[in-house]
Chain A
């Protein structure tokens, strides 16, 4: 089965991102495909490269990056949601004349159409968050 995943909450504050990650791992482990993980609302905070969690805690962002490296999973942040919350890739940093970019490795920033496209192409969309 081809899954699309939506993460609607930020890391640490809420379980949604952890559950989505474990769901993605389990789906891939069972031989399914994860077409895309789309991060929306506060979910875009999963893609910040500037989080420094305690050493004895999981790194939510690093885990997503590893998943992308291992399985080529497409990790997409909504551009409008990311911009208003301060998550920028290098192109957006330049375009908006900001001092730094902070998009973590393995993620990309794109339009909200990527969410709708995932819903159309995937056999099942699974949303995590309230």
Chain B
């Protein structure tokens, strides 16, 4: 994917229909399902989960996915980004049974049910590992490094696993 189309895909994913209400924002401007109520505030933040590690050598990928799935209940504006060896987490048709490990990649299929649809991968990381988006278990948008920097820049919180 070229840089231009990646940028427009990112722009489309930013959902301009969602009001930009941050800490202390006015709850009346928001859809009822949007945001987390804390006292008298309704807070909506941009949360980015960054996955950087291969799936089975450490537990970070699996425990990272657990945060994303539970965190979906908080009605925030969530994106996922796979960098470096993290792109291996998304490879389709994995069979780690010989390692005695769970194939948690299937869990990424649940993201859509949790309304987590902004899933990005590093185009450079895919290319460096001989992978394409067609070999991944879910639909993702591949981003160049500049667009990734922009994506990170606009977040309120970045979790890194």
Contact = CB atoms under 8 A, between A and B. Distances in A.
Interface of A: 40-41, 78, 80-81, 111-113, 115-117, 119-121, 123, 125, 127
A81 B70 CA distance: 14
Interface of A is mostly: helix
B67 interface: yes
B43 A116 contact: no
A81 B74 contact: no
Contacts of A81: 63
B10 interface: no
B43 A120 contact: yes
Q: Quick one: which of B23, B70, B76 has the most chain A CB within 10 A?
A: B70
Q: Which 3 A-B pairs have the closest CB atoms?
A: A116-B71, A119-B157, A112-B70
A41 B45 contact: no
Contacts of A80: 63, 66
Nearest to B45: A120
Contact of B43 (A113, A121, A125): A121
B36 A111 contact: no
Interface band, chain B: 10 to 19
A41 B63 CA distance: 7
A115 B43 contact: no
A125 B59 CA distance: 22
A121 B63 contact: no
Interface in B58-95: 59-60, 63, 66-67, 70-71, 73-74, 76
B101 to A, nearest CB: 13
A123 B59 CA distance: 28
Nearest to A115: B67
B59 A41 contact: yes
A12 B20 CA distance: 43
A111 B73 CA distance: 12
A121 B63 CA distance: 22
9 contacts: A40-B63, A81-B63, A112-B67, A113-B73, A116-B47, A117-B74, A119-B47, A120-B36, A120-B74
